[in-house]
Amino acid sequence: MNASLPLHPRSHFPPDFVWGVATSAFQIEGAATWQGKGESIWDRFCRQPGAIADGSHGDVACDHLNRLDSDLDLIERLGVDAYRFSISWPRVQPDGRGAFNPQGMAFYERLVDGLLQRGIRPYLTLNHWDLPQSLQDSGGWAHRDTCYRFVQYARHMAQALGDRVAAITTHNEPWVMAVLGHESGVFAPGVRNRGTAMQVAHHLLVSHGLALQELRADGCKSRLGIVLNLSPIVPATASEADAAAARLEDGRSVRWYLDPLLRGEYPEDVWHHLGTDAPCVEHGDMELIATPMDFLGVNYYTRSVVSANGSWNAKEHGGPLTDMGWEIVPQGLTQLLRRLQRDWSLPPLYVMENGAAFRDSLQDGRVHDGDRVEYLSSHIDAVGRAIAQGVPVAGYMVWSLLDNFEWASGYAKRFGLVHVDYDSLARTPKDSFHWYRGFLDGQKAQRKLHVGAMA
């Protein structure tokens, strides 16, 4: 693989641009029943036969819980400004209501303090999908009461950590939780009902707005926002039918979230299309959802090509693919960011996840993942191009620090800058880790020059 890199338009990254790396609790922590942790919907889902491609689960994962200090050292070695992680709600509040678990809380205190001691800014996500199972047992996100439980959990975490974390994200990728979790059922909790999925999406958005209002009323100093998975949605052909299918898909996956968050309304065409599956919206919900945010997080991996008959298949189109079968389309990220700016009035944007799975092999203590280096460098370049065209992007985070539990794909898909041997749990930084570190060194040198020039 040719790892020679395109030249970065380095000057396009402002000196205060935040460079980071991301993980989530369920995918790395393990210790599924350790020190009073409650069961999450993903613990339960993994036990369903056939739910996870390799039959695996998160019981041990990367054993991050027991390797916190050495993992923090790895993050420090990487040279990032920020680390994005999530809290496991059932680890800190096992039943999702009532008492908080002091041992769970202590773990995240150590995590946040360990980052600060190393000069790394903590970016906290409250909900990266692992809802306490006991809340699911009483209806989960389809039930409005879960919004109020979430706000109570959010306030508790903000009171404990809000003085030290730079940013708090309410939810990671509501579309995934709603649609993959409740419509196609391929993710936890494995429900298959479109009406339920749309009610779940609405409750996620309502709880986001409520949490923002309550946290601000409590005097929380962290910046507050949400993270969405977004792609340019492209029709497969020039036909009317494909254009209409793409428009609807854009409505369901992009506008359904951005219109309420940034304009306080659901897109009419999608509402009409949903018929009786449209959610039940209470008086005042739309104002709550549109509570102003301090940032909007964007996760980008690939574009989405839509055909009316569902026949489009990336594999048949000859372009480069990752090991997930996702097309590699860096210019799609520039296109997406520019479109966001054109169509909505935006708070600062952060690319909160971007990265790729490849079939890495560990040989003589090295992983030569030139394909990942190329993926990352071309996508960073794409962000630089968007900034150069005036899009307010303030940060970029690589998914992911470690190889980890890739949800329904199990452990076979490796996204890490650091290779994990799942037998020994040994960590080996890949070539991409060293490349990103070198890139960040270059950014820091630029910053020094900038500060020098300003002095």
For the annotated catalytic residues, the residue numbers are: 173, 353
Q: Count other Cβ atoms within 10 Å, centred on residue 103.
A: 12
Decide: is 358 part of the binding site for ligand FCB (CB under 6 A). Answer: no
With respect to ligand FCB, which residue has the nearer C-beta, 178 or 286? 178
CA distance 218 to 88: 22
Which part of the chain contacts ligand FCB (CB under 6 A), choosing from 59-67, 169-177, 418-426, 435-443? 169-177
Work out how close the CB of 425 gets to ligand FCB at its nearest, in angstroms, rounded to a whole number: 20
**Using the rule CB under 6 A, which residue among 123, 153, 407, 435 binds ligand FCB?**
407
Answer for which of 406, 408, 411, 432 binds ligand FCB (CB under 6 A) is 406
- Quote the tokens at residue 200: 């779940």
Angle between helices 370-388 and 431-454 (to 10 degrees): 30
Question: Tokens at residue 355, please?
Answer: 């990265």
The nearer residue to ligand FCB, 199 or 229, going by C-beta atoms, is 229
Which of 18, 59, 3, 159 is closest to 447 using CA atoms? 18
Rounded CA-CA distance 113/163 in Å is 11
Task: Using alpha carbons, select from 85, 81, 78 the residue that is nearest to residue 110.
Answer: 85
- Smaller CB separation from ligand FCB, 411 or 415: 415
* Closest chain position to ligand FCB (CB): 24
- Cα(41)–Cα(36) distance, integer angstroms: 16
Out of 187, 396, 399, 411, the residue judged to bind ligand FCB by CB under 6 A: 399
| Site membership for ligand FCB, residue 187 (CB under 6 A) | no
Q: Does 83 bind ligand FCB (CB under 6 A)?
A: no
- Smallest separation (angstroms) from ligand FCB to the CB of 15: 29
According to CB under 6 A, which one of 88, 127, 172, 443 is a site residue for ligand FCB? 172
Three-state SS for 176? helix
Which of 172, 443 has the CB closer to ligand FCB?
172
Residue placing its CB nearer to ligand FCB in the complex, 150 or 187: 187
Q: To the nearest whole angstrom, how small is the minimum distance from the Cβ of residue 26 to ligand FCB?
A: 8
One character per residue 18-47, x = contact with ligand FCB (rule: CB under 6 A):
------x--x--------------------
Question: Does residue 229 belong to the site contacting ligand FCB (CB under 6 A)?
Answer: yes
CA atoms within 13 A on the CB side of 438: 11
Distance separating alpha carbons of residues 197 and 32, to the nearest angstrom: 27
Cβ proximity to ligand FCB: between 13 and 433 the closer is 433
> Interface with ligand FCB includes 175 (CB under 6 A)?
no
88 touches ligand FCB (CB under 6 A): no
Number of Cβ within a 10 Å radius of residue 445: 11
Interaction with ligand FCB in 363-382: which residues (CB under 6 A)?
Answer: none
Residue 22 or 220: the one with the smaller Cβ distance to ligand FCB is 22
Is omega for the bond preceding 14 within 30 degrees of 0, making it cis? Answer: no
Distances (CA, A) of 398 to 83, 423, 447: 10, 25, 20
* Radius of gyration for the chain, computed over Cα atoms and rounded to the nearest angstrom: 21
- ω into residue 409 within 30 of 0, thus cis? no
Nearer to ligand FCB, 40 or 229 (CB): 229
d(CA 230, CA 214): 27
DSSP assignment, residue 427?
Answer: E
Question: Taking the complex as a whole, how short is the minimal distance between the CB of residue 69 and ligand FCB, in angstroms?
Answer: 23
Q: Give yes or no for residue 176 binding ligand FCB (CB under 6 A).
A: yes
How far apart are the C-alpha atoms of 94 and 131, rounded to whole Å? 10
By CB under 6 A, which span of 103-111, 168-176, 213-221, 446-454 interacts with ligand FCB? 168-176
Min CB(129)–ligand FCB separation in Å: 7
Residue recorded with tokens 């649609």: 179
User: Euclidean distance between the first and final Cα of the chain, in Å?
Assistant: 43
| Contact residue for ligand FCB among 71, 353, 371, 431 (CB under 6 A) | 353
Q: Smallest gap, in angstroms, from Cβ of residue 22 to ligand FCB?
A: 8
What backbone torsions phi and psi does residue 186 show, to the nearest 5 degrees? -85, -10
Binding status of residue 360 toward ligand FCB by CB under 6 A = no
Stretch that binds ligand FCB, among 88-96, 141-149, 172-180, 420-428 (CB under 6 A): 172-180
For residue 27, CA distances in Å to 180, 221, 334 come to: 17, 28, 28
Q: Mask of contacts with ligand FCB, 274-313, x by CB under 6 A? A: -------------------------x--------------
Name which of 24 and 136 has its Cβ closer to ligand FCB. Answer: 24
Instruction: Give the β-pairing of 427-429 and 418-420.
Output: antiparallel
Strands (E), 317-435: 349-353, 362-363, 366-367, 393-399, 418-420, 427-429
Residues that bind ligand FCB (CB under 6 A): 24, 27, 172-173, 176, 229, 299, 353, 399, 406-407, 415
